[in-house]
Amino acid sequence: MIAVTMTTKMRTLKILVLECAQNLDFVVDFLKCFPCLEKLYVIFSEGKDMNIAPKYDQLDPIECLELHLKEVVLKNYCGGHRLY
pTM for this structure? Answer: 0.69
Instruction: List pLDDT tens digits, range 54-65.
Output: 677 778 888 888
Q: Give yes or no for a contact between 36 and 15, defined as CB atoms under 8 angstroms apart.
A: no
Q: What single letter denotes the amino acid at residue 80?
A: G
Taking every pair of C-alpha atoms in the chain, what is the biggest distance, in angstroms? 42
Distance between CA atoms of 46 and 51, rounded to whole angstroms? 14
Which pLDDT does position 38 carry in this prediction? Answer: 93
Which pLDDT does position 83 carry in this prediction? Answer: 45
Please report, for the chain, the start and end positions of each structural domain, with discontinuous segments joined by +: 1-15+23-69
Which pLDDT does position 30 carry in this prediction? Answer: 80
The phi and psi torsions of 59 (rounded to 5 degrees) equal -80, -15
Instruction: List pLDDT tens digits, range 3-56.
Output: 455 567 888 889 989 886 566 777 887 888 888 899 999 887 766 666 666 677
Which pLDDT does position 40 carry in this prediction? Answer: 92
